[in-house]
């Protein structure tokens, strides 16, 4: 579907009774200014010369109307780019399903390009600080994209960092952006003077169609965290979404959190596997994606067990202080840490008593035996 034609050498939108020339193939085109479809130009031959062309609806227009006409429907050999910016990057707007073959074809042809997929109310996603974790459900073709991908979720965009099946029921994750961000990154010099970013609702609306199978939970209590960059404290409120990671896929060697540590550096938050094991044990903690990163949420302090030797618990507490500074575990009260040492002492006493009792018993038995022989 054409929005522009060459009319006496000028790039023009359709007007009633208009006739012009297709700027891709040079064929004659006629203006269609009906009531139902978006006004457009149609080839007189009735066939669009560009097989990649798709129906232009309100979603396409919401993007193309951001930029000046000269950057819309830019002919590149036999194809028309939806938008090509001032430095030659093609913004490919994709509303309809597209096969992996077609994706590969366009990426090779345009080379300098980014994808924007219409994901308006299509894919469920959960926000996590500046990140969002999404599911593509059955629209798996998108994962074959090699060029940068943006999912346009309506009020926000997801700049995909990674497509991955590792997180149960998710297809990947990315940074949350808005159109203003996208425009300043890609369309700054092409933007219409009268364009302003659309207003956002607060809080943002998320497609939430997971129903009972939703793969995220809400935190039970508020927690305080150290921001490693600013050194300041941040609060994560009660009922903040998190993604639990304490499960294991069949046939995989380790739990999900260990795979996140080894394969997803954007999320791993500086953890190593041993450090995570220690904090899980010390804090009876749960590994989770919280506020966009891998963190350990401790159980409430009264339920912490610390069934380990005092020297071990002391060593782990020293490490816990480093993890706190790095925002990998929440800020713990000194009282809580002291309580852990106390619990470890109790545990050692219990263990030793039992040992002493069993020693005493065996000695008694030995004694009895000796007695028999005596
Ligand atoms: Zn044409």
3-state secondary structure 26-74: CCEEEEECCCCCCCEEEECCCCCCCCCCCCCCHHHHHHHCCECHHHEEE
Q: Is the pLDDT of residue 362 over 60?
A: no
In a domain, 95, yes or no: yes
Residue 370 belongs to some domain of the structure: no
Same domain, 32 and 148: no
Residue 352 in any domain: the answer is no
Residue 217 CA to ligand 1 center (angstroms) comes to 52
Asked whether residue 363 is assigned to any structural domain, the reply reads no
Above 90 in pLDDT, residue 331?
yes
What mean pLDDT comes out for the span 110-122?
92
Q: Say whether both 81 and 188 belong to one domain.
A: yes
Contact 70, 11 (CB under 8 A): yes
- The mean pLDDT value for 209-238 works out to 89
Round the average pLDDT of the chain to a whole number and report it: 90
Query: What SS3 state is found at 24?
Result: coil
Same domain? For 256 and 293 the reply is: yes
d(CA 73, ligand 1 centre) in Å: 11
192 shares its domain with 234:
no
Q: Alpha-carbon distance 23 to 370, whole Å?
A: 109
Q: What is the pLDDT of residue 155?
A: 84
Of 198 and 97, the one with more pLDDT:
97
pLDDT value for 151? 96
22 Cα–ligand 1 center, Å: 5
The side-by-side arrangement of strands in the sheet containing 125-128 is 72-76, 79-84, 90-94, 113-118, 149-152, 157-163, 172-177, 131-134, 125-128
Range of the domain at 274: 217-343
* Residue where the block lists tokens 């071990």: 312
* 206 and 153 within one domain: yes
CA 319 to centroid of chain Cα atoms:
29
Beta bridge partners of 233: 226
Residues in the chain, how many?
A: 374
Q: How many CB atoms lie within 10 A of CB 356?
A: 10
Q: How many domains does the chain have?
A: 3
Instruction: Of 5-9, 267-271, 337-341, 361-365, give the lowest mean pLDDT range.
Output: 361-365
Per-residue pLDDT at 145: 97
pLDDT above 60: residue 369: no
| Together in a domain, 162 and 63 | yes
Looking at 211, 233, 263, the residue that finishes a domain is 211
Closest CA to 52 of 90, 13, 6: 90
Domain check: are 170 and 31 in the same one?
Answer: no
Whether the pLDDT of residue 356 is over 90: the answer is no
The answer to whether residues 221 and 197 belong to one domain is: no
Q: Is residue 374 part of a domain?
A: no
Does residue 321 have a pLDDT over 90?
A: yes
70 CA from centroid of ligand 1 (Å): 17
Ligand 1 centre to CA of 17 (Å) is 19
Confidence of residue 212 (pLDDT cuts 50, 70, 90): low
Query: How large a percentage of the chain has pLDDT more than 90?
Result: 72
Whether residues 82 and 157 share a domain: the answer is yes
151-165, 186-200, 360-374: range with highest mean pLDDT:
151-165
Q: Is the peptide bond before 5 cis (omega within 30 degrees of 0)?
A: no
pLDDT band with cut points at 50, 70 and 90 for residue 206: low
pLDDT band at 373 (very low <50, low <70, confident <90, very high): very low
**What separation in Å is there between the alpha carbon of 47 and the centre of ligand 1?**
8
Whether residue 50 has pLDDT greater than 70:
yes
Residues 304, 340 contacting (CB under 8 angstroms): yes
Distance from Cα 49 to the centre of ligand 1, integer Å: 4
Residues 6+ apart with CB under 8 A from 86: 71, 189, 190
Asked, for residue 358, whether it belongs to a domain, the answer is no
Residue at 369 is within a domain? no
Return the H-helix or E-strand segment holding 324: helix 310-325
The pLDDT of residue 123:
85
For 283-315, give the secondary structure using H, E and C: HCCEEEEECCEEEEECCCHHHCCCCCCHHHHHH
| 190 and 65 co-located in one domain | yes
Please, what's the largest Cα pairwise distance for the chain? 125
Question: Ligand 1 center to residue 114 CA distance, Å?
Answer: 24
Residue at a domain's end among 162, 188, 211: 211
Band of residue 315 on the pLDDT scale cut at 50, 70, 90: very high
Q: Is the pLDDT of residue 370 over 50?
A: no
Do the domain assignments include residue 364? no
**Same domain as 149, residue 36:** no
Of the three residues 30, 49, 68, the one that is the final residue of a domain is 49
Query: pLDDT at position 209, please?
Result: 73
- Between the CA of 43 and the centroid of ligand 1 the distance, in Å, is 7
230 and 103 in a common domain: no
Give the strand order in the sheet containing 241-244: 217-218, 241-244, 286-290, 293-297
């Amino acid at each position: 579907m054409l929005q522009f034609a060459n009319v006496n050498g000028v790039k023009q939108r359709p007007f009633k009774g208009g006739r012009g020339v297709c700027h891709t193939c040079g064929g004659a085109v006629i203006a269609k200014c009906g009531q139902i479809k978006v006004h457009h130009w149609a080839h007189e031959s009735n066939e669009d010369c560009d097989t990649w062309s798709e129906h232009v609806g309100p979603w396409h227009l919401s993007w193309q109307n951001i930029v000046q006409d000269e950057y819309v429907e830019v002919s590149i050999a036999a194809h028309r780019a939806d938008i090509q910016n001032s430095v030659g990057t093609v913004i490919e707007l994709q509303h309809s399903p597209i096969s992996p073959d077609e994706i590969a074809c366009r990426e090779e042809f345009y080379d300098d390009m980014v994808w924007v997929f219409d994901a308006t109310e299509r894919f469920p996603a959960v926000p996590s600080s500046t990140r969002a974790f999404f599911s593509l459900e059955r629209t798996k073709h998108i994962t074959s994209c090699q060029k940068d991908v943006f999912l346009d979720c309506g009020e926000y965009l997801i700049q995909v960092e990674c497509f991955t099946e590792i997180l149960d029921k998710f297809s990947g994750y990315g940074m949350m952006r808005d159109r203003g961000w996208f425009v300043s990154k890609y369309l700054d010099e092409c933007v219409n003077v009268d364009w302003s970013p659309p207003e956002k609702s607060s809080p943002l609306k998320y497609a939430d169609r997971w129903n009972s199978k939703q793969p995220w939970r809400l935190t039970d209590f508020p927690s305080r965290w150290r921001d490693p960059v600013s050194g300041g404290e941040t609060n994560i409120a009660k009922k903040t979404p998190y993604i639990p990671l304490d499960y294991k896929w069949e046939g995989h060697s380790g739990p999900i959190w260990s795979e996140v540590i080894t394969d997803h550096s954007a999320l791993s938050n500086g953890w190593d596997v041993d450090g995570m094991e220690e904090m899980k044990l010390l804090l009876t903690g749960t590994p989770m994606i919280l506020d966009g990163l891998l963190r350990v949420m401790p159980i409430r302090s009264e339920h912490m067990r610390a069934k380990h030797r005092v020297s071990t618990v002391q060593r782990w507490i020293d490490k816990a202080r480093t993890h706190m500074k790095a925002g990998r575990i929440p800020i713990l009260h000194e009282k809580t840490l002291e309580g852990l040492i106390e619990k470890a002492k109790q545990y050692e006493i219990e263990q030793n008593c039992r040992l002493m009792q069993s020693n005493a018993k065996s000695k008694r038995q030995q004694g009895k035996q000796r007695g028999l022989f005596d």
